[in-house]
Amino acid sequence: MLQTIPGFDRIGEENAFAVLARATELAADGRDIINLGIGQPDFRTPDHIVEAAIKALRDGHHGYTPATGIAPLREAVAADLHKRHDVDVNPGNVLIVPGGKVTMFMAILMFGEPGTEILYPDPGFPIYRSMIEFAGATPVPVPIREENDFAFSAEETLSLITDRTRLLILNSPANPTGGVTPRSEIETLVAGLENHPQVAVMSDEIYSQMTYDGMEHVSLLQFASLRDRLILLDGWSKTYAMTGWRMGFAVWPDALVDKVRKLAVNAWSCVNAPAQFAGLAALTGPQTAVHDMVNEFDTRRKVIVEGLNAIEGISCKTPLGAFYAYPNIKNTGWQAKALASALLEETGVAIIGGPDFGILGEGYVRLSYANSTLNIKKALERVNLFLQENKK
């Protein structure tokens, strides 16, 4: 018998990929599938970004790059963060990684071991808990509540910190809820964290450019008292519709940047060279495509929230960020995962059950509105009909 480390008995995954696989299978059988399951923009990467990658290939950028990323890209990331968040970042602290996910992987590996605790949002991106368990640390869920508009509560978060806490994971704008935590709450949290200098913070800001109704995104980078223990996770996937390129960036504090560079050298050497040139074009080129995409998401957001609230038994708060609606389905009488599965099999509408995002997810489902308005309306008609015909 091959014996692997115990972490492999605990590691999880993302059910969104399983739902995508099943939806693809049903579509291949000729079924009319509307996919509101997967968390990726339904737009193409803007042409000038694609052209930059093609040019890089033609120009002969075929070899390894520095493990931390090409210098102009790291400088462009620092300039972008300065422009968006009004913060000074040393390009030497920037790490280019193959996808935003890699930053959480490395941060959790760096701080997680048996006997330690890592705080993470629940409901939240499923990989947080999976990786914490893989590392052998104790996952401590920070409840994200509907009555708090799916913002995290500073007070509750701080109350969960113990002397075993090594890392706190934050995510705003959030997956799966679309919640955005307001500045006042973040300020309270940061002030409280000054009493816990042993706790590192990983702020997952992958949806940083997707907020609505004038809601401000507050980057944790803006707080000087955290800078020596803050890991920023961001990237190109969502903002520039580049999920398949595998391009992310992180800012690591001085004390950790060389450790993480070594981890990168051990794991992947460097990120795909032409993709880095694409990333550079994305940051330095016109941002119109980003604004157009966010405006389109905003239109769909209103359609999906209105449509969901018109269905008996469903109530949906208006999400202020990302591209997800996270309605409460408790009054339908359905269990969330059973409903998601029945909707896919019976009506061809793919959504994700809340429990796939954490123990507090029962009673909710996630719908991604990265699909056309027409498809969203069609999907909601099917959901409505299904619930009328299948009362619990």
Member of 37, 41, 69, 100 binding ligand PLP (CB under 6 A): 100
- Residue span binding ligand PLP (CB under 6 A) among the ranges 55-63, 86-94, 98-106, 281-289: 98-106
**Residue among 175 and 328 whose Cβ is closer to ligand PLP:** 175
Position 248 contacts ligand PLP (CB under 6 A): yes
For residue 273, how many other CB atoms are within 10 A of its CB?
Answer: 18
**Residue among 276 and 347 whose Cβ is closer to ligand PLP:** 276
Alpha carbons 115 and 122: distance in angstroms, whole number: 21
Q: What is the torsion angle, in degrees rounded to the nearest 10, for the CA atoms of residue 379, residue 28, residue 323 and residue 47?
A: -130
**Residue among 237 and 371 whose Cβ is closer to ligand PLP:** 237
**Residue among 40 and 116 whose Cβ is closer to ligand PLP:** 40
Angstrom CA distances, 302 to 42, 285, 290, 376, stand at 17, 29, 19, 11
**Structure token digits, residue 64:** 């390894």
Position 204 contacts ligand PLP (CB under 6 A): yes
The minimum distance between CB 242 and ligand PLP, in angstroms, equals 8
Alpha carbons 351 and 329: distance in angstroms, whole number: 13
**Residue among 165 and 237 whose Cβ is closer to ligand PLP:** 237
Position 354 contacts ligand PLP (CB under 6 A): no
**Residue among 39 and 363 whose Cβ is closer to ligand PLP:** 39
Q: Let me know: does 16 contact 266? Beta carbons within 8 Å.
A: no
Q: Let me know: does 242 contact 281? Beta carbons within 8 Å.
A: no
Nearest-Å Rg of the Cα atoms of the chain is 21
Q: Let me know: does 36 contact 352? Beta carbons within 8 Å.
A: no
The minimum distance between CB 163 and ligand PLP, in angstroms, equals 28
Position 37 contacts ligand PLP (CB under 6 A): no
**Residue among 311 and 340 whose Cβ is closer to ligand PLP:** 340
**Residue among 97 and 340 whose Cβ is closer to ligand PLP:** 97
Q: What is the torsion angle, in degrees rounded to the nearest 10, for the CA atoms of residue 193, residue 195, residue 197 and residue 198?
A: -100
The minimum distance between CB 174 and ligand PLP, in angstroms, equals 7
Member of 243, 328, 332, 368 binding ligand PLP (CB under 6 A): 243
Position 39 contacts ligand PLP (CB under 6 A): yes
Size of the site for ligand PLP (CB under 6 A): 13
Cis-peptide into 114, omega within 30 deg: no
Member of 37, 99, 126, 361 binding ligand PLP (CB under 6 A): 99
Position 175 contacts ligand PLP (CB under 6 A): yes
Position 325 contacts ligand PLP (CB under 6 A): no
Position 125 contacts ligand PLP (CB under 6 A): yes
Instruction: Give the helix/strand (H/E) hosting 263.
Output: helix 254-267
For residue 264, how many other CB atoms are within 10 A of its CB?
Answer: 22
Question: Which residues 209-238 are close enough to bind ligand PLP by CB under 6 A?
Answer: 235, 237
The minimum distance between CB 97 and ligand PLP, in angstroms, equals 9
Alpha carbons 158 and 165: distance in angstroms, whole number: 11
Position 177 contacts ligand PLP (CB under 6 A): no
**Residue among 275 and 387 whose Cβ is closer to ligand PLP:** 275
**Residue among 283 and 311 whose Cβ is closer to ligand PLP:** 283
Question: Which residues 259-318 are close enough to bind ligand PLP by CB under 6 A?
Answer: none
Parallel, antiparallel or unpaired: strands 365-368 and 349-350: unpaired
Alpha carbons 150 and 144: distance in angstroms, whole number: 5
Alpha carbons 248 and 204: distance in angstroms, whole number: 11
Parallel, antiparallel or unpaired: strands 349-350 and 34-35: parallel
Number of H helices, E strands in the chain: 13, 12
- Binding residues (CB under 6 A) for ligand PLP: these are 39, 99-101, 125, 171, 175, 204, 206, 235, 237, 243, 248
